Structure formats: C-alpha cells, structure tokens
Structure 1
Amino acid sequence: MLKNYFKIAWRNIHGHKTYAFINIFGLTLGIACALVIFAVVRYHFSFDNFHLSKDRIYRVVTELKDESTSRYALVPRPLGKAIREDFSFVGHSARLVTAPQATVSFPELSEDEKFIEETGIAFTEPGFFSIFHFPFLQGDQKAVLQQPNEVLITESIAKKYFGSTNPMGKTLRVGAAANQADYTIKGILKDFPANTDIKQEIFLSYHALANGPLESVWKGLPAGSVCYLALKEGVNELTAQEQLRSLSSKYYEGKDVDVWNFHLQPLADVHFNPDYDGVVNKSYLYTLLAIAFLLLATASVNFINLATAQAITRSKEIGVRKVLGSKPKQLFWQFISETAIIVGIATLLAITLAFLVLPAINQLLQANIPLQLLHWHSLLFLALLFLLTTLLSGFYPGLVLAGFRPIKALQGKITQKDIGGFPLRRLLVVGQFAISQILIIGTLVIANQIRYAQQTDLGFNKEAIVSLPLPESANLNKKKVLRERLASIPGVESASLNFQAPASAANGIGSLKYHNNPEEEKWNINMKFADDQYLATFGIKLLAGRNLFPADSVNEFLVNETFLKKLNISSPDEALGKKLAVNGQNSRGTIVGVVKDFYNYSLHTAKDPICIMSLTDLYGNCSVKLSGQSFTKQMAAIAEIWKETYPDFVYSYQFFDDSIAAFYETENVMLKLVQGFGLIAILIGCFGLYGLISFMALQKTKEIGVRKVLGANLLRILWIFGKEFSLLLLLAFLLAAPLAWWAMNMFLQDYAYRVPIGADIFLSAILITLLIAILTVGYRSISAALANPVDSLRNE
C-alpha cells in the first residue's frame, strides 16, 4: 500500500513539473534557512555548557546605582580576594586580568622576535582551572600557577612557536627592556572549543599583580578584574547573593555603600546579557527563530495555494478512485505521501544549500559554526522539520481532495467553492506578503538607525585618527618624546596622550564633590584622562574658559554640558573657577573650561557628565590626527618613529572610526541577516504568486477570450488580475504595519538616541512590495492577455 502511494505520488509530481518546481524551490529555500538559523542558535546556546559544574559557576558583576543604573562585567581588583576570605559559600574563586596588548617572546628561540597575541594574555589564579573544565595535555592541574612566574599555554601556541619541540620548562617573556618578566611554561592546555567566551591562550600566575597598587583600589573599574567563582555543592544562589550584599557596607563609606553593588551572574547568562558585555542578545536569536518559522510558513503557503488551486484539475482522478473503492482516509494519505516526497527532495537540496551558504554566514558572524547534521540535536530537528513542513503543507489540501464527492468530481463540476474557494487562498496570500512587509520594514528601520549612528554629530571628529597603544612600562618623558615626534610628521595635525578616546568601552567612573557642597553628588562622573592636545586631536569644541595647561603637576578639569545640567548650572561661565574633588580626595582641582557635549559610548547609552583631567600615570594611548593626504607616507613615518622610540615593543595601531563602528557590529550583522531573509521571503512569495496567477490564467482562458472578442483592451484584461492582488497587498500591509511597528519599537528601546519610525518607512515598504508584485503578476498576466482569443474559444 505504502509503495503504491509513493508510486502514484511520483507520477503526479512528474506530470506537473512547473508546480513541483515552484514548491520544491520555495521549500528548499525555507528549509535551508531554517537549518542555518538552527545551527547559529544552537551554537550560541552551547557556549560554556561543557563545564562539569556549569550550574554552580558564576561571574561577579558590578552595578552602580546613582540617579541611573550602570552595569559592568569588571569588578574592583581587591573584590576577588575579599570574597574568598569573607564568605564560606565559595568553593573556588579566581580573578582574571587581561592584557590585550602585552608583548610576548621566547628568548630560547629568538632574543629579537616579539609578538602580540591576537587573543592577548591573562593573569589568573590557580582556582580558575578548578572552576572551568579545560583539559590539560601536560602539567599538574592541581599545582599550576601556585608559584610566581608560571605560565600555561594552549597546544596551538605550543605548535605555533615550538613546532614539534616540547615547550615544557621553556621560558616565555612578557614585556620588554627594563620591564620584562620571565615565566616558566608549566603546562599545556588542550585547545579551547570555539563555543567558550574565554578566548585567551596564555595564562600567567597572578603573583605578578598581587602586590600592585590596584590591589587596594575599591573604586577602580577600568583597571579592574573579571571575578569567577564556583559555589559549594548545596549552596543556594539566593543565599549567596544575599551574603554578597554585605560587601558594600564593609568596604565602602557614605553614599558609596548604596552606589556600589555586586551580583552573581550565572555562567549561562554571560554570553547573552548585553548589560554585561554579552556577545549576542537572546532577543536576536529568538528573532532569527521567528524568521525561520515565517520563511517555512511562506513556503508552505505556496504549497497549499498551488495544491488547492490544482485540485480542480485532479477532480476526475479523485472521482475515479472513489468509485473504485478508495476511502477518504486513503486519498488523504496518498496526498500526504506526495507532499512528503516533495518535502524530502527539498530537504536534501536544502542540506546541500545550507553547507554551501554556511561559510558566508560564518564570515559574516566572524565565527566557526558547524552544521553537525549527525548530532542528535540536528537529527531530531531535521525529523521534526520534515514532519512539520509535510503536515503544514499537505494537511489542508489532503482534506480538500479526500472530501470531493465522486459523482460531482466525475462530472467535472468541482468548483472553487468545493476546494475552499478564493477566500482561503486570499487569506494565505495576505499572510505571505504580510511576512515580507514586516521584514522589509524591519530592514528599513535598522538601516536608518545605523545610518543615523554613522551620520549624527558625535561631538568629536572620528575620521583619520589612529591610536597607538603604549607600553605599560614606558615612562612619561618617553611618551612625550613620541608624541612630539609624531606631531612633527608632515601632514599630521596633532597628537595626544590619553587613557581612552572620547567614545570608548573603557570609561573611568568616579564620585564627585562640587565646590562648597558639603556632600558628594548622588551621581558619578565619567573620567577622561588626557593631555592638553586632546581637544585639538579629536575636534572637541571648547564652549567657555580655556584648555588644560601642558604642565603635568597642575590639577585642572574640563567638564561638559551634561555636567552643568546635573548641577543645575545655567551658564558655562558660572562653573569656571569652581573647585572639584573627584574620587574622594584623590583628585582635587579647578574647573578651567567647559566643552560641548559628546557621546562617550555608543548611541545605546545617554551622554554622561564628563570630567577631562590630566593623570599621566594612566596614559596608555597616543592618538594621532592625520590630514588625510599622503596617508601611506604618514603611516610609514609613524611606524618608523615607533621603532626608533620603542625598539623592544611590537608596533600596533587601530583607527578610531573602526572602534566606533564596532559599537554597532551586532546591528550591522542583524541588518544583513534580515535583508537576506527578507529577500528570500519575497522570492518565495513571488514564485508562489507566479504559480497562482498561472493557474488563474488557465482557469480564465475562455473568459479572457470572450472579453477580447467583445472589445476589451490590454489594460482592462490586466486589471482582472491586478485589482484582486492589489487589494490583497493592501490588506497585507494593514496587517504587517502594526506588528512591524511594535517589533521595531522593541528593537529601538536599546538606544538612548533613536530614529523615529516615520510614515516614509511604511510607504516605502508598501511601494517596494507593490512593485515586486506588479512585476511578478504583470509578466504572466500580459502573456494571458496577449493570447489569441480564437485558440481559447475554438472548442466552444
């Protein structure tokens, strides 16, 4: 019986090649997109879930509460040690301090070659490898990093630098010149899987930092650490969280007790939480899953529309089968088997297409996502996808065919009413194009927001500025020599020593006491540490007062407009000469100038009150403003001066506009994905529309012939096809517009500064959809309208 079902099914598919092609094409695209999206979503949800105690692993994070709430993945350096000593709920804990620009070398291989590893290096404590499950290939896991000057490297680093030689016991040197330190390789780690957020491949013992000045700084976040811990078995997270609150009252005073708060963030949340530098927001992944379902639904709508429209041509076949004894149930399963064959062919083609497309997706996402079709998750997903698509596509048409009355079918009197009529297919077409319009509106809104971020006045200049990370060990005089030499290059407009650029992920946070106010303010300020060339280099406008003096020993401050608004100061001149105490008594000085507001991060966050000051110990960058002319020569001259000034340190640089663009990397990726899937949805819809119009043209052949004989012109005949679909597209728009408006408002909530969703967005969406539909419907309609009426009426 089953063999007979598939034999008949194959014969029907072979006899209707055009409709079979349209269905297979649409389902292939829909299933391929679903497979790729499933691979992406599964990959992200697999991050760090391979650790043996993953449910007990947490990261301690910082929450600063003043007039607003700010959240940070870093914590003050001393917090890790305090947690270990103060609380009994901690099974293991470890601090992690990264050094992205640290220079490394292997003196036993070469005294001169130095490198900067792309993933940087990290200082950590022995408990790190008790918390996380990263297998050792060599070395004693229980003993490593217990002593000073020990280092672990991954097998990739070992092979990269030592080849087939065993690196155990060899020396890894960090830094250069007078500030270098040698570490002995005590262990080799198996390469970390791609699905972990811990990317470093060189781990040094924390002893090098244990006695540093930052180990007692409780208000230092930019130079803070990441703190991980594993709870003891049986300890409740809520209990541990409650005890953790006591840290603030023990280590802070005054208003800081309420400002500084620390929380436990589950390991499963680290990859996703945007408040704490998560890699991807879960809402984006859920959006992708929704898009996958919508694309499958769009392809299934094609199948249902074409199958029910085609049912009239199969009415006599069904009538004969019923007369010969076939039961409705058998006819239903026969059609389901036809659907299963088409879905099966589409699935095989989709798997091939997914393998071909995935490298491009990986390049876009800068990831290495595998398809892993033989994994049980993938096999289960494929099976469910096959069943869902088969039933979604074949259930209703199967019921329609099985429900035909045999006598009526044999007489050829099956009408649109018997197959559900046009209302169902109209409804499905409306749904199909509503999906397309939602994706079009989403694409336009995301593109507008990104364009707004790129074109809005940020309050500073981001073009043609290159930033050079400075060696940590470099003294101030040498940094100044570098700055002056770089500024003297022909075509270089200025150069500045600073801790960070105006818009940066690394922002200093500090308390503030203004002039004669008896108490510190309830809000914190954003601190920028920079020299007197900072304003000129970044094009920041001075509104009142003067710039900072070049002298390093003078404590002076520049503040921004938001700073004045926070203190209810109406005029910039009113603030000049007032005294400030920043971070308690650490920095005291006078306000000498007021600068125009600028964005200190991305458009996701509101502008902070900012205080620019000279703090030479923290100058970690030299920013150079180029003229934009003779660019290659200027970059070559910068590299040459660096080598002459710091011959022992690796030269590296980053353009400021690239770092600004990185703020919106996720949105750019999301835009390209939505654009791609939107085009696929439109393409599937167009093919379905073409097939439906082709069938309608066949059904209306005689009607068109009569109308042409009676004098109807081309436009009037085209209107027969166009008027109905124009109305359907309008209904689709009315359905899509409020849904898209709601979805895009949810998306834009992540931005403090956002574009409005104007009427032009919706007008563009309906015009784009209408144009595509006109082209699709028009081609087939014109063919039908130009047909010779004699041919269509010959048999009447």
Structure 2
Amino acid sequence: MLAHYFTLSLRRLWRQRQVNLIRVFSLALGLASGLVIFLVVNYMFSFDRHHPHIDRSYWVVTDIQRENTMQTDAAPRPLAEMLRRTYPFVESATRLETVFGRTMSVADGKPGAVRKFNEARNVCFAEPQYFNHFLVEWVAGSPAKALSAPNTIVLSERYARKYFDNADPVGRTVRFDNRVDLTVTGIIKNPPANTQLRYDALISYATIPGLERKGALLDWEGLQSMCFVLLREGTGPEQLASALTEVRKKNLPGDKAAQYAYQVLRLADLNHERSGMAPRPVSYALIAVGLLLVLAACINYINLATAQALQRAREVGLRKAVGSNQFQLIRQFLLETALLTFFAVLLSFMLTQLAMPLVNRTLAAQVEMLYPSISILDLLHPRSLQWFLGLVAAVVLLAGFYPAWVLSRFNPTKALTGQLTTQTIGGFTIRRTLITGQFVLSQLFLIIVLVISTQLKHMQSVDWGFHHANKLTVWLSPPNPVPFDQLRQAWLQLPGVESVTYASDPPASPYNRPTPFSYHFASKPEPFETRLRAADEYYLSAFGLSLVAGRNFSNTDTTAQEIMVNQTLVRQLGVSPVSAVVGKHMRVKDADRIIVGVVDDFRSGDLHQPIVPVTIVHDMGHTMMAVLTLSPNRPKTTLKGIEQIWDETMPYQVYKADQLDELLGSFLKMERLLAGFVQSFALIAMAMSCLGLYGLVTFMAEGRAKEIGVRRVLGAKTPQLLWIFGKEFGRLILIGFLIAAPMGWWLTNAWLQQYSHRISSNVWALGATLGITAFITALTVFGHAFKAAMRNPVEYFRTQ
C-alpha cells in the first residue's frame, strides 16, 4: 500500500510540477534561512564549551563603580595567587594577560638579518595552571614544565611555521620587543575558531618581573590580568563570590574597595554582553527570526496546496467512492508533503552551503576573530541532527496536515458532480489570516531596515568636530624608546607629508576609558570623570582643534605637567567663563598638573554617547601612534617613503599603519552587520509574501470565477474586475500594517535610544513601508489577476 501511495504521489507531483516547484522553492528558502541562522547561533553557543570541567570553571572580572559602572574583563594581578593559596575550595586559579602591539622577531638565517612580526590579541602571558583549565592539545613539550621558568614561550603549530618555517622550533629563540629572548619549550595544536582564548603564543608569566618595575605583580589597584578559577566538586559560585568580597576589603584601601566590585561569570556563559560575539538576547532573537521565516514558508505551502484543492476534487471523490477513508487520504497527502519537503531540504542544503562562505567572511571581518568554519556538516552532530529532524517533521505536519485534512473531508457526491466551491472548503478566512501574518512579518522587517539604513547613513555624515581626512596613523611600539624628533623631521622632508603629531589616540578612539580627577579639592575626586589623550604640541593644528581660551602646549614642558581640557569638562565643573580654569591646577593620573588651555568640543568616542569631558596631557611617554597629515595630491611614492624611513630609523620594530577614516569606520561595524542581516531577512520575508500572494490570488480566481464571468457578461471593464482583487489585497495589507506599524515603531525607537546622535523621527518609515508593500504586492498580483479578468466568461460557466 505504501508503494502504491508513493507511486501515486510521484505521478501527481510531476503532473503539477510548476506549482510544486514553487512549493519546493518556498519551503527551501524558508528552511535555508532557518538553517543559516541556526548554524550561526549554534556556533555562538559553542564558544569555549570544549574545555574540561566547564561546569566548575569561572571567570572573575571587575566592575569599577564611579560616575557610571564600567565593566571590565580584568582583575588585579595578585588575585589568582591569593585564591589558590588561601582558599581550599579553589582547586586551581590561573591568570593571563593578552599582549597588544608588541614586536616578535626571529633570526633570518643571515648574519644580522631578522624577521619582524607585530602581534596583537594572539599572544599572551600565561601561567602553567593555564593547561589545567583549558583544553590544549600538545605536539611537543610538557604542560607542567613548559611555562614554569622565565623567558620561555609555547607556540601553536601555525605560529611555529610562521616564525621558523618547517624547521624544528623547540629550543629556538624568539626575541620579544627587542628586550628579552624567549626559548621555545613546547608546541601545541592551533586553537579552534570557536574560542575567545585564541592564543597562538603563550609566554611564561614569570617573564613579567624582568620586563616591568619591581612589585608590579603585587599591585591590587591595577586591572591588568584575566583571572580564571576552577572550583572543587560540590563548591558553588556563591562561596567564591563571598571570598572575593573578603579579598577586596582586605587588600584595597577603603575608598578603592567601595569603587571595585568583583563579579563571577560562568565560563560556559562566556558569550554575553561583557565579552563574546553576541549577547544571549541577540542569539535568542535570531532563533525567533529563523523560526518565523520557516513558519512563513509553511504558510506559503498551505496557501498553494489549498489553492489547488478544487483541481483535486474529482480525484478525492472517486477514491472515496471506491472505499478510501479519510485517514488513508490524509496519509497519502502527508506523503506528498513529505516528498516535497525532502526535495526542499536537499535544495535548502545547497542554498545554505552556498551562503556559508559569505557568512564566515562576514563574521570573521566584523568580530576580528579566527576565520570560522561553519558549514552544513555541523548538522551531523547528534544534538544538531536531532533538532533538525524534529524541525523537518514539524514542517511536514504543519505544512501538510491542514491541506490533507481539507482535501480528505470532501463530500464524494459533490466532488464528482462539480458542486464544490471555495466556500465549501473553508472560504478565505484561514488564508486571509495566514497572508496577513506574512504581511505583518515583511512590513515589520521593512520598517526596521529603513530605520537602520537611515540611521547608518546619518551616522556616516556626523561632524566629529576635528579633521580626519587624509590622516595616516603609524603605530609606535612601546615600551622601546622612540626617536620622535628624528622620525618627524625625516617624514616632513617627504613630498606629500604636511604635518606629524604624536598621540596616545586620535580625538575619537574606541579605547575611551573614563579616568577620575580632582579640581576643586585635591584629595576629593569630582563626581564625573574625564577621558585622557596624551599628545604633543602639534596635536591641535594636525586635527584642526580650536582653542577657546588659554594657549597650546609649550615645547619646554618635559615633565607632562601641562594639560588642556574641553568645554564640556569646564561646563560640568560649573566654572564660568571658561577662561577662568586657565592657570588652575588639576590632579589626574596621580599627578598635579596645570590647565594651560581650553579646546572646543569634539567627539571622543562612538555615537552612542554624547560629547563627554576630555583632558589632553602633554605626555610623550604615553604616545602610541604618529598621525601624519597627507596632501590629497601626494605622489604615489609617499606611503612607500614613510615606511622606508621607519625601517631605517627603527629597524627592530614592525611598521604598521592605518588610515584614520578606517579606524573611525570601525565605530559603525556592528551597525553595518545588523543592517546586512536585517536587509537579508527583509528580502526573504518579501519573497515569502510574494509566493504566498500567488497562492491566494490563484485561490481567489478559482473561488470567484462565476462572479467574474457574470460581471464580464454584464459589461464590467477590466479595471473594475481587477479591483475585485485589489480591494481584497489592499484590505490585507492595511490590516497587516496596522499590526506591524506599532510593533516596528516601538522596536526602532527603543533601538535608536542607545544613540546620542540619531535620526529625529521614523514616522516616514511607516509610510514608506506601506507604499513599498503595496507596490510589490501589485506587481505580484497584477499578472495573475489580469489573466483571470481577461479570460473568456464562457469558460467560467463551463467549469462551474
């Protein structure tokens, strides 16, 4: 019997192959959308889940509670040692420190020749306990001894090849920052892409005392290391939190203890607001969107299946007349749905895999991570496969049961005598509801797309308050001494280089941590904080910053005493006029300094926050970059000349340069990613709606065929007949809009509130959404409606 059903189903599917192709493509599009989202979210949830003892592992971080609570990912350096030495319930604790902007060099085989590498994020200082906490596969070396001694380093296979090509790296030497030689004591497997601890080189933590001032590892007020704790069996995080409170009060002065709060985070939940590719709420929202798109595909299938119901009336009537019961008919129709779903799944696999390279590239570019290897093969994992098979079964039941139930209930007498109409098989009520739901989804996405795109364009046109075009940032390599004057004079000799300034950051920087300071009372911090910039006397002219009061830095100030502040800082101090602060003392970074000038306001961070207080310190010792202003008409050889001068002046340091506009563009990274995702979802939702509309207009043409024929015979013109369809769809569009508009208004307004620089209104987006939906609907419906309106009325009467 099953083979018989299978043969009949294949014949039927082939006979209606045009409609079935639409059904298959619609289902495949929805399933592919859901699959892409599922694979991305599954990848996000997989971060650092592979480590041993994940259920007992915790990350200790610090919140700084001042004007606002500032979340960090760090802890004091002595904390890990204190926990593992003092508290028996702590099985192990380890600390590590990520290295940023340091130079690694290796001998090139020729006398005096070296290869240089600028390293950031992939290198860290780590303790031997690191290997007890995190899964590391060893190729050579001993985990117990590899990092126990100072001046040792463990490399991944990738970095071993990078530094030493195919030679055996164990026992070889890597020079760190041209200050210390590190001996390679071990080789480990490359870290997986789905980890935030993506370290390819681990330097022994015991190396730090030889690089920094005495007592640097005993500083309880600095936040320089990450601390991970492994608790013993049966110990809960509450006990660790209690111990941290005790440690904080014991080792920090009273005022500092009140400002610092240690937080305990589960390592299994590493992907959250503080750190990770996406917070959990975002991941859950993506899952909801994926399920909605799959649901929209099922709705299309139902509409298309029921639209063809009248064409199968005689078949159903005949089979019932010869003895088939309703259950047998439902089984056959569900088998047809299962076959179509099978073909849709195969097509969805192809569409998903085709999309994966773009998804992987986008994730790697946006979150600055190792290139992820997400693919359709991830579904072969037992839990993923179980989830996917459940989804396919749900699609078969959801998409197939209602049409099967409708078809199997046909009265055989009416079916064989042609007395069935659309009203006798349920009318438009369910189909109208389903199409309205699709309109709600597509219009909601359209509203969100329009608002996000407009906000992104608005942010790209922001006035930063300083000159940023034609600026090249060359990264310095502290803590090595930099010959500032020599570099500046050499660069200024190049044609196309207009100015050179040294600074810790440009005026707007992603590294924008607030710093407490004192003005009114030397021993009492102000109730708000400032952002610091270290700079030289050429900083103002290079960026076009205007002095409102006072003067620029003096080149005779060699002790970093002179500072300049912006107008917002003076205003929040309550000092008027702004010139009154000039000559006054201000204590910042544990030093008394003198305010020599007030500069006009400029944006110091991303566009989420308003203009905030900023202090510029005349401090060459903390500058991290040289900013070169280039002529728009510079020769093509200018950039090569800049690098050549660097190599001649600082032969042991790696040349690394970026355009300042690219750095500012990084502020919009997440907005671009969000806009891309939402635009994709909106296109898919609109495609779903168009396919659903095809089903409904087919159903309307069948159901109102006699009415159209009568109206045509009585003299109705084509526009009047088209209005029958236009009125129906116009009503559904309007109902969908009345539901989607308030939802879209609420969501977009809530999203816009995070930006201080935002578009003033999104009312226009509602009107534009209604117009776009109406236009796309008209294009989709018009062809089929026109064909129905122009049909010979005799054919309508003959088939009714």
TM-score > 0.5 by shorter chain: yes
**Contact 1:460–1:538 (8 Å) recurs in 2:** yes
Counterparts of 1:312-331 in structure 2 under 5 Å?
A: 312-331=310-329
- The CA deviation at 1:684 is 2.1
The answer for the alignment partner of 1:455 in structure 2 is: 461
**Contact 2:501–2:626 (8 Å) recurs in 1:** yes
Instruction: Give distance in 2, aligned partners of 1:485 and 1:108.
Output: 28
Residue deviations 1:321-372 (CA, integer Å, cap 9, x gap): 2222222222222211111111111011111221122112111222322322
Residue deviations 1:374-429 (CA, integer Å, cap 9, x gap): 22133212211211111111122222122222323233222223222111111111
Counterparts of 1:136-155 in structure 2 under 5 Å?
A: 136-155=138-157
**Contact 2:495–2:635 (8 Å) recurs in 1:** no
Identity of matched residues, %:
37
Instruction: Give distance in 2, aligned partners of 1:122 and 1:631.
Output: 40
The answer for the alignment partner of 1:208 in structure 2 is: 207
Counterparts of 1:163-182 in structure 2 under 5 Å?
A: 163-176=165-178, 180-182=179-181
Instruction: Give distance in 1, aligned partners of 2:513 and 2:715.
Output: 80
Q: 1:300 to 1:469 in 2, by over 3 A?
A: same
Residue deviations 1:149-187 (CA, integer Å, cap 9, x gap): 1110011222344444322111122223xxx32111111
Q: Which amino acid aligns with 1:38?
A: F
Of residues 495-504 and 137-146 in structure 1, the stretch that sits farther from structure 2 once superposed is 495-504
SS in 2 for 1:639: helix
The answer for the alignment partner of 1:96 in structure 2 is: 96
The question of 1:38 aligning with 2:42 is answered no
The question of 1:333 aligning with 2:339 is answered no
Instruction: Give distance in 2, aligned partners of 1:125 and 1:300.
Output: 54
The answer for the alignment partner of 2:407 in structure 1 is: 401
Counterparts of 1:28-427 in structure 2 under 5 Å?
A: 28-85=28-85, 87-107=87-107, 109=109, 111-117=113-119, 119-176=121-178, 180-210=179-209, 212-213=212-213, 214-215=216-217, 217-221=219-223, 224-273=224-273, 276-366=274-364, 367-371=372-376, 372-427=378-433
Unaligned runs of 5+ in 1: none
Q: Which amino acid aligns with 1:288?
A: L
The answer for the alignment partner of 2:787 in structure 1 is: 783
Q: Which amino acid aligns with 2:174?
A: L
- The CA deviation at 1:89 is 4.2
Instruction: Give distance in 2, aligned partners of 1:248 and 1:522.
Output: 23
SS in 2 for 1:779: helix
Q: Which amino acid aligns with 2:181?
A: D
Q: 1:9 to 1:775 in 2, by over 3 A?
A: same
Q: 1:624 to 1:163 in 2, by over 3 A?
A: closer
The answer for the alignment partner of 2:369 in structure 1 is: none
Residue deviations 1:259-315 (CA, integer Å, cap 9, x gap): 222212222333322xx3432222332222122111111111111112222222222
Q: Which amino acid aligns with 2:480?
A: A
Instruction: Give distance in 1, aligned partners of 2:304 and 2:516.
Output: 68
Instruction: Give distance in 2, aligned partners of 1:247 and 1:85.
Output: 12
The question of 1:573 aligning with 2:579 is answered yes
In structure 1, which of residues 468, 479, 486 is the aligned counterpart of residue 484 of structure 2?
479
Instruction: Give distance in 1, aligned partners of 2:506 and 2:266.
Output: 32
**Contact 2:494–2:641 (8 Å) recurs in 1:** yes
Output the aligned Cα RMSD. Answer: 2.4
Residue deviations 1:2-38 (CA, integer Å, cap 9, x gap): 2233222222222222221111110011111111111
Q: 1:659 to 1:230 in 2, by over 3 A?
A: farther
SS in 2 for 1:264: strand
Instruction: Give distance in 1, aligned partners of 2:498 and 2:165.
Output: 46
Q: 1:449 to 1:270 in 2, by over 3 A?
A: farther
Instruction: Give distance in 2, aligned partners of 1:172 and 1:329.
Output: 75
- The CA deviation at 1:68 is 1.6
Of residues 663-672 and 480-489 in structure 1, the stretch that sits farther from structure 2 once superposed is 480-489
Instruction: Give distance in 1, aligned partners of 2:296 and 2:488.
Output: 60
Q: Which amino acid aligns with 1:169?
A: G
The answer for the alignment partner of 1:438 in structure 2 is: 444
Unaligned runs of 5+ in 2: 365-371
Of residues 48-57 and 105-114 in structure 1, the stretch that sits farther from structure 2 once superposed is 105-114
SS in 2 for 1:182: strand
Q: Could you state the TM-score of these two structures normalised by the residue count of structure 2?
A: 0.93
- The CA deviation at 1:482 is 1.6
Q: Which amino acid aligns with 1:521?
A: E
The answer for the alignment partner of 2:526 in structure 1 is: 521
**Contact 2:61–2:264 (8 Å) recurs in 1:** yes
**Contact 1:445–1:757 (8 Å) recurs in 2:** no
**Contact 1:101–1:120 (8 Å) recurs in 2:** no
Instruction: Give distance in 1, aligned partners of 2:484 and 2:702.
Output: 81
SS in 2 for 1:591: strand
Instruction: Give distance in 1, aligned partners of 2:495 and 2:90.
Output: 58
Q: 1:702 to 1:299 in 2, by over 3 A?
A: same
Instruction: Give distance in 2, aligned partners of 1:159 and 1:49.
Output: 28
In structure 2, which of residues 598, 621, 624 is the aligned counterpart of residue 620 of structure 1?
624
The answer for the alignment partner of 1:595 in structure 2 is: 599
- The CA deviation at 1:689 is 1.1
- The CA deviation at 1:206 is 1.8
SS in 1 for 2:473: strand
- The CA deviation at 1:682 is 0.9
The answer for the alignment partner of 1:687 in structure 2 is: 691
Q: 1:591 to 1:471 in 2, by over 3 A?
A: same
Instruction: Give distance in 2, aligned partners of 1:694 and 1:682.
Output: 18
